[in-house]
Amino acid sequence: MLHTGLWLTSVHDVDAAVLRFVDMLYSEQPESAFPVNNKTPKESSRNAEIIAAYEAGTSLGELAARYGITKQRVHQIVNRKRK
């Protein structure tokens, strides 16, 4: 059986080689419309939870530790500011 997935051309710089390698790895994958990340819940629901907990008396430090974000980011969220 003939292997047809290899491009037999040379690449003269590292950036082009990396791009070619990634393209070869993911050429069969459909492109996602949004980044896939299982680390945090959807931001809008997370932010609503943070605001509610803060209004109930939870400190910025406790919220930062609970959600794995900085106290500054919690402060921005409770003051309804974007990054």
Neighbouring residues of 27: CB distance < 8 A, sequence distance ≥ 6: 5
What mean pLDDT is predicted for residues 34-48?
Answer: 73
Rounded CA-CA distance 74/82 in Å is 11
Residues 71, 61 contacting (CB under 8 angstroms): yes
pLDDT at 16 over 60: yes
Q: Tell me the pTM.
A: 0.49
Q: Who wins on pLDDT, 2 or 52?
A: 52
Reported as a single tens digit per residue, the pLDDT across 56-71 is 999 999 999 999 999 9
